[in-house]
Amino acid sequence: MKVLAILYNGYKAAEEEPALLGTVENKLGLVEYLQSQGHEFIVSSSKEGPDSDFEKHIVDAEVYISTPFHPGYLTADLIAKAKNLKLCVTAGVGSDHVDLNAAVKAGIQVLEVSGSNVVSVAEHVVMSILLLVRNFVPAHEMIERGDWQVSDIARNAYDLEGKVVGTIGAGRIGYRVLQRLLPFNTKELLYYDYSALPAEAAAAVKARRVEDLKEFVSQCDVVTVNCPLHEGTRGLVNTELLKHFKKGAWLVNTARGAICDKDAVAEAVKSGHLRGYAGDVWNVQPAPKDHSWRYMKNPLGGGNGMVPHYSGTTLDAQARYAAGVRSILQNYLEDKPQDPGNIIIGKTGYETKAYGQR
């Protein structure tokens, strides 16, 4: 069996830190396991264009392992060429880099290591909310510059206490964000999701559901995006929806870059309609040097909390998703049932309700 993995290069860091398992160098710790059973295991970061290792090897691979941090996009065209492909495994959470509808048609299963990095991301969301609301980044930049002007920072710094915070998507990550925000004594915690939380779960975090998206955003001081990218969420936060945000709201998106319209967000931050935007996900990864989200600033020179895509790839998360990929492979090879929570597309189609209502 041929297994193809597209991972990110770790270079010196990966040589010095073997716990960077999700890298080309450390190969998710799978080499011995796969090779000892006689399987061919190709690992590369090369994923763009017809000469890439991705496109070269996908044509006869049986298993494709990928990661959202450096996604090799498995389009419908590539699926049509991948005659041998039976299983896609996401090392992490979020399988939108696979054309899921095309995978269903081709009978390809798609699994991810659900839950493996949801705490890692929820912690990052809370950090990002705080750094925006408290105007942290320009304060730190001021210190590095050698300056000290408290009023320039304090004029745009607030407390999270007393604000309304809402999550688009209240699944594993969104719910954990709500749990972590509870002790901050916000004015209210809201959620927008077509799946309602069980009553006890909503009561435990004192969260109120708002069923209309425009109404939801118009009530929030902070909006955090925690739903998968699918046909119903691509470009969901666009110029039209942003008009319904409170003036001066903060937006945090660690879900997928393409859920938020790149230009609309940059414009809203520049005008101050959004006081700030933070996250780690981009519409193209790696993000080009001139991507507007790298440099956008609000009228007071702050409001940008962007980082590379790493919230879900802490060393703790890598240990969990590497172990999860191995267990998915083991189940596949030994023809054992998979953990139902990991199945996005099973043998007969979608087995999750999280990738849109259909």
Binding residues vs ligand NAD (CB under 6 A): 92-94, 117-118, 121, 168-174, 192-195, 226-229, 232-233, 254-256, 280-281, 309, 311-312, 354, 356
Q: Which residues are annotated as catalytic?
A: 117, 256, 285, 309
User: CB-wise, 34 or 264, nearer to ligand NAD?
Assistant: 264
Least distance from ligand NAD to the Cβ atom of residue 306, Å = 12
**Residue 338 has what DSSP assignment?**
P
Q: Cβ(54)–Cβ(98) under 8 Å? A: no
User: CB-wise, 7 or 61, nearer to ligand NAD?
Assistant: 7
Least distance from ligand NAD to the Cβ atom of residue 140, Å = 22
Least distance from ligand NAD to the Cβ atom of residue 122, Å = 9
Rounded distance between C-alpha atoms, residue 71 and residue 210, angstroms: 33
Which of 115, 83, 111 minimizes the C-alpha distance to 98?
Answer: 111
Residue whose tokens read 């304060």: 139
Give the relative orientation of helices 118-133 and 136-145 as an angle to the nearest 10 degrees.
70
Rounded distance between C-alpha atoms, residue 81 and residue 62, angstroms: 12
Least distance from ligand NAD to the Cβ atom of residue 223, Å = 12
Where does 146-276 have alpha helices with state H?
150-154, 172-181, 199-204, 213-219, 239-242, 262-271
User: CB-wise, 64 or 350, nearer to ligand NAD?
Assistant: 350
Using CB atoms within 10 Å of the CB of residue 289, give its burial: 0 to 12 exposed, 13 to 18 middle, 19+ buried. exposed
User: CB-wise, 155 or 353, nearer to ligand NAD?
Assistant: 353
User: CB-wise, 79 or 125, nearer to ligand NAD?
Assistant: 125
Beta partners for residue 165, in sequence order: 189, 222
Rounded distance between C-alpha atoms, residue 322 and residue 91, angstroms: 7
Least distance from ligand NAD to the Cβ atom of residue 148, Å = 34
Least distance from ligand NAD to the Cβ atom of residue 70, Å = 12
Give the residue closest to ligand NAD by C-beta: 171
User: CB-wise, 66 or 254, nearer to ligand NAD?
Assistant: 254
User: CB pairs under 8 A, 24+ apart, for 330-334?
Assistant: 332/63, 332/87, 333/1, 333/37
DSSP states of 268-287:
HHHHTSEEEEEES--SSSSP
